[in-house]
Chains A and B, each alone.
Chain A
Amino acid sequence: MGFVVKKPGILTTVQDRGRIGYLGSGFSPNGVMDHRAYITANILVENDIDACVLEFALAGPTLRFTTTTFIAITGGDFSPTINDEPVPMYSTLEVKRGSILHFGACKQGAYGYLAIAGGSLRVPEVMGSRSTNLKCEIGGWKGRTLAMGDYLPFITKNTYFLPNLSSHAIDHDDFYGFDEDILTLRVVPGPQEKAFTEKGIETFYNETYETTTKCDRMGYRLDGAEIETESGSDIISDGIAFGAVQIPSHGRPIIMLADRQTTGGYAKIGTVASVDIPKLVQCQPARKIRFTSITVQEAQALYRQQAKYYRSLYKMVRRPGGGISPRRTARRLTPILEEQVRLSKGDTLWIDRS
């Protein structure tokens, strides 16, 4: 019981939180690009917060489900449909056995996520994670992107053992700022801030940059004003954090993301605060970006606030009585009983027949 890949999409991989703890041995952590969408998807289907999900970019996959289950779709808008009917994102959906889930091209955002209830996909854990390392061809689904004809099994075979999920939903908030002209990202300065002149730093925090088409899972390259260094941007190779802003010799920022190399020899002017990275990864090319600096303490406070938000998501997600009834068996029986009513209309009450 799982799904069969009819069309694989352009870059569809199995990801989770990332392969943590092996950066020093040369393994990029990989994992999802948009952590917020990832966690939200898992909360919606009541999976563990680090269960794996399907991540897709540019154009999403078309999948046929061989069992009935619940799913949630978050992140970028890929016009999801189930059996050609459009379905909402950020709410838990029931997918019946045999249904076709289709994602098109990306209308808004860049990375989409699909979570499946009951523990998600049954893929082996490699070095503590189910993320895909495409370069090393390990982890996730056979160390590669999905291909046509692949059959990915689920951990839970049917919905009867799942809690009742179909009323789960989250109100859309405008966290990603899709409607804003310019996206502002908060950056913690360093670790090589001293490699840049005062003018260079001023440029970085005051100029508007633009995302280019050269934005992928390794990093996002931005176009814009050149950032001046004291004496070039070469450094002794240093570990690279998620969201680190490298300024190579051409002076334009490149923000290192999930599939980044483990070490790099270019100066890093700062690191994008982890709460803002999801906003960045959902940018399409030619998106205007500005940077603003915050302290480590402020970034940590934001991080704690986000953790609180995730905790409150659990409560927000469950809605009593609104929308689809979560009483699944009753829903299944209701049309049968309604049909009985139609058939027996005009009959006397059973109690009056003698």
Chain B
Amino acid sequence: MFDKILIANRGEIAVRIIRACRAMGIKTVAVYSTSDKQSLHTYLADESVCIGPPLPRDSYLNITSILSAAKGTGAQAIHPGYGFLSENSTFAKLCRDNNIVFIGPSPEVIDRMGNKSQARKTMMDAEIPVVPGTKEAIYDADHALDIGKDIGWPIMIKASAGGGGKGMRVSQNESDFVEAFNIAQRESMNAFGDNTMYLERFITNPRHIEVQILADTFGNVLSLGERDCSVQRNHQKMIEESPSPFITDEVREKMNEAAVKAAEAVGYTSAGTIEFLLDEDRNFYFMEMNTRIQVEHPVTEMCTNVDLIQEMIKVAAGEPLGFEHENMKCTGHAIECRINAEAPENDFLPSPGVITQMHLPGGNGVRVDTAAYDGTNISPYYDSMIAKIIVHGRDRTEAIAKMRTALEEMVVIGVKTNLDFQFAILENETFQAGNAHTGFVDQFLKGET
């Protein structure tokens, strides 16, 4: 087992990982930019190293600085958290070259699944249902148009190197296809430096349901259940829950099997998530695989009582999974709400600033993952997340009641938050009935639901 781990991240996930390490008796090294000097994670870690100025590319994305900090402090492993360098295969390779264990899958697996069009091909070869679309990568608009005719409109044009909604356009019919393709490709070139594209049939208002995977180096590949993340706005998730109120047990079993098969097909190790889209007939299609721990991982932790971060560390240290995986059960229902410093009434514009005072909820089955404290500065350089509130109840009704109580109580003074908005969604009939698909938030904002 490692003696010392460096956490190459910030905010609540850095706090989360540090706590997990502490509980395992592992020393921790935090890294921070000059604007994060008084962040909670720097105070909780045993050591901390300033690695650069505020901009992410100069600090949290600065591979040289982070590796140098790791070597200088004698860290044996690096946990990349989510975002930043967590899916950067170059970083993972450099860790390996410098005899530092990257806590995650191998750089080869990251590459294979990070290239979205290649990932699709891999899944198709493994006979896992994918959204009908292209198998090979496309670079040319006319070639794409020919293939598009086979797929059928409406068509989603996506960037192979893409993510976070960038490099994506929907083409409604043949007439707007070429223009949409060119725009998407240009966006992809600007954002990711890559012009590889692929096509998928556009499913109207799908449900977004993902499956958590955990795999060790002994051939154990497990599925820990699904999370329904359909409540999202501009592809940013707002509320996640498990189990999904949309799928039947039969579909659930098939999805879990497909997820395990997908992970096995690429020789996956560590924690990862297979994302599926479901149409209204509950057909599920592989969309993409995230080769990292995700923001909403606590939802699965509350249902399964498995500490995903600790398991990732064990796997990276070459140990087998630390729980009775044969008898693992998902019990009850968990919901997570992301609380961000943003103004929903102003098109969700981020609201950076100092949180002068905060009151957090608590109680039976209420978990708060946050790095914020009274006086925290929510910086404009990074994401605006203040906290994640996760609740667990014996059933969905109880979970909703607990979340409602928690959101009702929480106070943040100093910055605007989306607390009222999240609360309103919790009270909404459609959400309470479990009928929220990915178009729900937009409809909710327009007053249509």
Please give the residue numbers on chain A whose beta carbons come within 8 Å of chain B beta carbons, in ascending order.
163-164, 315-316, 318, 320-322, 325-330, 333-334, 337-338, 340-341, 349-352
B424 CB contacts on chain A under 8 angstroms: 318, 320-321, 326
Other A-B pairs beyond A318-B424, A321-B421, A351-B43, 4, CB < 8 Å: A338-B357, A341-B356, A349-B374, A351-B373
- B425's closest neighbor in chain A, by CB? A320
- B43's closest neighbor in chain A, by CB? A351
Write the nearest CB–CB distance from B52 to chain A, whole angstroms: 22
Contact A322-B345, Cβ < 8 Å, known A315-B447, A350-B375, A351-B375? yes
The complex places the Cα of A329 from the Cα of B357 at a distance, in Å, of 16
The complex places the Cα of A318 from the Cα of B359 at a distance, in Å, of 26
B407 interface residue, CB < 8 Å from A? yes
Q: Which of B344, B409, B444 is most buried by chain A, counting CB atoms within 10 A of its CB? A: B409
21 A-B contacts, Cβ less than 8 Å apart?
Answer: A164-B408, A164-B423, A320-B424, A320-B425, A321-B424, A325-B420, A326-B427, A327-B408, A327-B409, A327-B410, A327-B419, A330-B408, A330-B409, A330-B410, A333-B411, A337-B411, A340-B357, A341-B356, A349-B375, A351-B375, A352-B38
Contact among A326, A330, A340, A349 for B38, CB-based, below 8 A: A349
Write the nearest CB–CB distance from B432 to chain A, whole angstroms: 12
The complex places the Cα of A164 from the Cα of B404 at a distance, in Å, of 10
Q: How many A-B residue pairs have CB under 8 A?
A: 74
- B356's closest neighbor in chain A, by CB? A341
Assess the A350–B373 pair: CB atoms within 8 A.
yes
The complex places the Cα of A163 from the Cα of B404 at a distance, in Å, of 11
B413 interface residue, CB < 8 Å from A? yes
Interface string of B325-349 (1 = CB under 8 A from A): 0000000000000000000110000
A341 CB contacts on chain B under 8 angstroms: 356-357, 413-414
B145 interface residue, CB < 8 Å from A? no
The complex places the Cα of A337 from the Cα of B424 at a distance, in Å, of 23
Contact among A330, A337, A352 for B357, CB-based, below 8 A: A337
The complex places the Cα of A354 from the Cα of B12 at a distance, in Å, of 23
Assess the B413–A337 pair: CB atoms within 8 A.
yes
Write the nearest CB–CB distance from A3 to chain B, whole angstroms: 27
B408 CB contacts on chain A under 8 angstroms: 164, 327-330
A351 CB contacts on chain B under 8 angstroms: 38, 40, 43, 373, 375
Contact A318-B357, Cβ < 8 Å, known A349-B375, A351-B43, A351-B375? no
B447 CB contacts on chain A under 8 angstroms: 315-316
The complex places the Cα of A349 from the Cα of B357 at a distance, in Å, of 11
A315 CB contacts on chain B under 8 angstroms: 447, 449
Contact A164-B427, Cβ < 8 Å, known A333-B359, A351-B38? yes
Q: Which of A322, A327, A352 is most buried by chain B, counting CB atoms within 10 A of its CB? A: A327
- A324's closest neighbor in chain B, by CB? B420
Contact A329-B409, Cβ < 8 Å, known A337-B357, A338-B357? yes
Contact among B359, B407, B413, B420 for A320, CB-based, below 8 A: B420
- A341's closest neighbor in chain B, by CB? B356
The complex places the Cα of A328 from the Cα of B420 at a distance, in Å, of 11
Contact among B38, B413, B421 for A334, CB-based, below 8 A: B413
Contact among B373, B375, B419, B449 for A330, CB-based, below 8 A: B419
Assess the B420–A326 pair: CB atoms within 8 A.
yes
Assess the B420–A327 pair: CB atoms within 8 A.
yes
